[in-house]
């Protein structure tokens, strides 16, 4: 484990190689799972604000799920998350013509309709962040749907912390990321 400020960072973040391969996985992380994507409390009013700009990108089923459940719901630990369609796919999924699951929120942002890229937990995936009072756990979530991303990461030699540099900085800040790099370098010297 690495200690970065008040965070305990799994060694996997430094050691694993990872690079999303959307052409292979078709966005399975958006359509599989027991709960929606984790949301920060401060993201809920943002989703409420941008919903009118995101709706044109959503499926009819996603629109219905949000109409019935709201822009967010709760998981089994009573933590906020995105609503699901048929207890499976994220309500914010937008389908590409080739059957790839895309993010309607991200599509709206990339088209200049909003200033919010997507929930930070989605941006960080496969890193999961858990708050435990005085410290934050930063862990790698290993899931079979990401096998092709691990394979591509190994082929390209891209460490997970480098692949997810932008979302790590978005979530924790540049100073935290710089300290992560120092901790990784120090661990490699041991």
Q: How confident is the model at residue 28 (pLDDT cuts 50, 70, 90)?
A: confident
Dump pLDDT digits (tens) for 116-154.
Answer: 999 999 999 999 999 888 999 999 998 888 899 999 999
Q: What is the pLDDT of residue 133?
A: 86
Q: Is 131 exposed, middle or buried (0-12, 13-18, 19+ CB in 10 A)?
A: exposed
Backbone angles phi, psi at 141, to 5 degrees: -100, 105
Q: Are the C-beta atoms of 85 and 73 separated by less than 8 Å?
A: no
| CA-closest candidate to residue 164, choices 128, 130, 123 | 123
Residues 44-58: what's their mean pLDDT? 97
Say whether pLDDT at 14 is over 90: yes
Say whether pLDDT at 55 is over 80: yes
């Amino acid at each position: 484990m690495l200690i970065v400020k008040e965070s305990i960072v799994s060694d996997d973040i430094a050691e694993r190689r990872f690079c999303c391969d959307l052409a292979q996985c078709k966005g399975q992380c958006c359509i599989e799972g027991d709960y929606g994507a984790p949301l920060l409390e401060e993201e809920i009013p943002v989703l409420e604000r941008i919903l009118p700009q995101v709706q044109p990108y959503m499926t009819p089923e996603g629109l219905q799920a949000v109409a019935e459940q709201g822009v967010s719901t709760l998981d089994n630990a009573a933590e906020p998350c995105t609503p699901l369609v048929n207890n499976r796919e994220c309500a914010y999924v937008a389908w590409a013509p080739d059957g790839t699951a895309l993010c309607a929120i991200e599509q709206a942002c990339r088209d200049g309709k909003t200033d919010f890229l997507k929930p930070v937990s989605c941006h960080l995936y496969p890193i999961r962040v858990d708050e435990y009072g005085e410290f934050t756990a930063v862990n790698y979530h290993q899931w079979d749907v990401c096998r092709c991303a691990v394979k591509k990461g190994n082929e390209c030699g891209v460490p997970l912390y480098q692949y997810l540099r932008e979302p790590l900085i978005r979530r924790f800040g540049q100073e935290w990321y710089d300290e992560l790099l120092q901790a990784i370098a120090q661990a490699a010297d041991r």
